[in-house]
Structure 1
């Protein structure tokens, strides 16, 4: 089986703790051949743990080396657009960490670049690869709780200044809309859209509660899907609490957890899988076999971001998602 020669660009938290463990399990599909990072010491450290690929002092040198078929971008969000553009100019495939960009306006430019290139641009949204959300979708479509009327998702992350994500420089002074609200929120938007379909409008309030987190860190929303399902999504990155994901139908309700779904009085176990490994596997097959890029499609990632940007800019007013995607 042909291996893809992969360059790692950015050796921070995502590359070290999320991407590399997945790539280690996929050594039959990928060979890490090059690495670069803003701090050379971080690149060298990553190289030592990943088979000693060539370390480059700059992204441009890595792209010009001829050592990579694809790059894995795990860089500050504001670099996604220029780094994707440079890779495509060099004829190199891209897998890039979410969110797609700092805002919908620049995200549209990435979508345009992808459409006009014969190389793959894959936005790495691992929630689109999480088995439990696909299982929930399956059970709903099978009518297990009747016609869905309402869903509520409350998420209490509870970060403080000791959290390594909070200490990341580019997150302290975020250039991406809403700070953590979009950084983490596109995950939740992806799951909601996967299960229930497209969101038509949203009314939301966003707040900055913690002095330790860059940007806003609390969001509460009311919204409606195009199919008429009403939803509430509340998330806080500074407050602690118990998460709850509830779906209410005309014949019962379900609660969604990471490893199970409680369906009325029954428990449906969902085997845990590495969603990062699954997204890299999918990226491989999109490149090598020509599989449609449905799960890493930049247009889907743009819709995730549009939901969050509409929430952040709503100020309590009814705001239509389509206004951000025109």
Structure 2
């Protein structure tokens, strides 16, 4: 029988209910939620009843919850502007205690805080994973492997179009309905919150970015400074591409533009992340469809974190890696504002100094 890691949740809102909790249920043999914290105590108490937890396992002050000795994992699902603040406090409190932290993306609201956030894991000797589900999604991994194995030959370029109808979604029971997303206290608004996923996925597929140039169409609505962003990306591998982000309307024509990768022997096409099929079209007329399980990222990230804490494998998405994703977002915004080409990544590859988990992490199970 597997040893269960005991989890304390900070923030029991929509991200917990719709994204993390379903994955925890699937991994019930590895994780057990034992504590909940939320400023809305009634909401936390409702979840406690649902999870058969006692009222003394419910907190409104996360610092108080962090004093518990039985917690192996802290899972932070707060508004973006609080990510660094809460993660830093948790890392300080749990330093050297053989525990781990999961923080939602992006790791901080500003690049300055993100630079400090990427130092928290080595500074406090505590494993931290950033829950960037696109880097864990099955379709992104499959496309990365198709590119690396040259299934459509050498890649020339790509086009990706991402459309979010924020004005309509904010009136429904969806993530944009949250006040902190409609009036964000972090640069970039919806582009930072949503576009970081797509840029993380592209970096996962193609690797580090050499430079970029971006243009934006300004808008007056608070939820994002630009209704449209067009970014031209040059990867260090030589691949070029265009990423378009439109957050103020609809894409009505089907099939959607999606992600289209053009190679010397054919192309790879993903209409959208929930379609369940990757399409290959070869220059000789052959076609191939590769099925995948949609929305698998949340499960995969929790599985990876369990394996990391038990000494089986390293954390796949560390704060250093997520810093690069967030820096790309800020570089896009910087390029728009300064009307120039921006250099992005310094190195050709990424290998964190603690790629393998410290030996003492495996002691959690003993």
TM-score by length of 1: 0.93
Matched, 1:140 2:141: no
- Could you say which residue in structure 1 is the equivalent of 2:13? 12
Q: Distance in 2 between matches of 1:272 and 1:127?
A: 13
Indicate if the aligned counterparts of 2:209 and 2:345 stay in contact, CA closer than 8 A.
no
The Cα offsets for residues 217-248 of structure 1, whole Å up to 9 and x where unpaired, read as 42111110011111100011221103421001
Matched, 1:162 2:185: no
Tell me the TM-score normalised to structure 2 length.
Answer: 0.83
Q: Tell me the equivalent position of 2:289.
A: 268
Contact 1:87 1:93 in 2 (8 A): no
Q: Report deviation, 1:96.
A: 0.7
- Deviation per CA, 1:245-270, whole angstroms, max 9, x where unpaired? 10011222121243222111412222
Over the residues paired in the alignment, what is the CA RMSD in angstroms?
A: 1.8
Partner of 2:258: 244
Residue 35 of structure 1 aligns to a residue in which SS? Answer: strand
The answer to whether the Cα contact below 8 Å between 2:219 and 2:225 also exists between their aligned partners in 1 is: no
Name the SS for the 2:177 alignment partner: coil
Aligned to 1:184, the other structure's residue is in SS state: helix
Unaligned stretches of 5+ in structure 1?
none
Q: Which residue of 2 aligns with 1:179?
A: 189
Matching of residues 88-237 of structure 1 within 5 Å? 88-91=91-94, 92-159=99-166, 160=168, 161-163=170-172, 164-209=174-219, 211=221, 213-237=223-247
Deviation at 1:52, TM superposition (A): 2.1
- Which 5+ residue runs of structure 2 have no aligned equivalent? 347-366
The residue matched to 2:327 in structure 1 has which SS?
Answer: helix
Task: Give the superposition deviation at 1:208.
Answer: 4.1
Name the residue aligned to 2:327. Answer: 306
CA distance in 2, matches of 1:170, 1:35: 21
Q: Does the CA contact (< 8 Å) of 2:184 and 2:223 recur in 1?
A: no
| Contact 2:324–2:345 (CA under 8 A) maintained in structure 1 | no
Task: Select 2:341's aligned residue among 315, 318, 321.
Answer: 318
Secondary structure of the structure 2 residue equivalent to 1:6: strand
CA distance in 1, matches of 2:185, 2:267: 39
Structure 2 residue 307 is matched with structure 1 residue 285: yes
Please give the secondary structure, in 1, of the residue aligned with 2:204.
helix
- The structure-2 alpha-carbon separation of the partners of 1:16 and 1:143, relative to structure 1 and needing over 3 Å to count, comes to same
Change (3 A) 1:307 1:10: same
Q: CA deviation at 1:285?
A: 0.9
- How far did residue 176 of structure 1 move? 2.2
Deviation at 1:10, TM superposition (A): 0.6
* Contact kept in structure 2, 1:128 and 1:191, CA below 8 Å: yes
Q: Which runs of 4+ in 1 moved over 4 A?
A: none
1:14-65 superposed Cα distances (whole Å, 9 cap, x missing partner): 0111111111111111110100112111211222222325101210110013
Rounded to whole Å, the distance in 2 between the matches of 1:30 and 1:152 is 39
Quote the Cα distance in structure 2 between the aligned partners of 1:2 and 1:262.
40
CA 1:141/1:214 → structure 2, altered by over 3 Å: closer, same or farther? closer
Distance 1:48 1:208 in 2: 46
Aligned length: 322
Partner of 2:22: 21
Matched residue, 1:69: 72
1:1-22 C-alpha deviation (Å, 9 max, x unpaired): 2111101101111011111111
The question of whether the paired residues in 1 share the 8 Å contact of 2:208 and 2:345 is answered with no
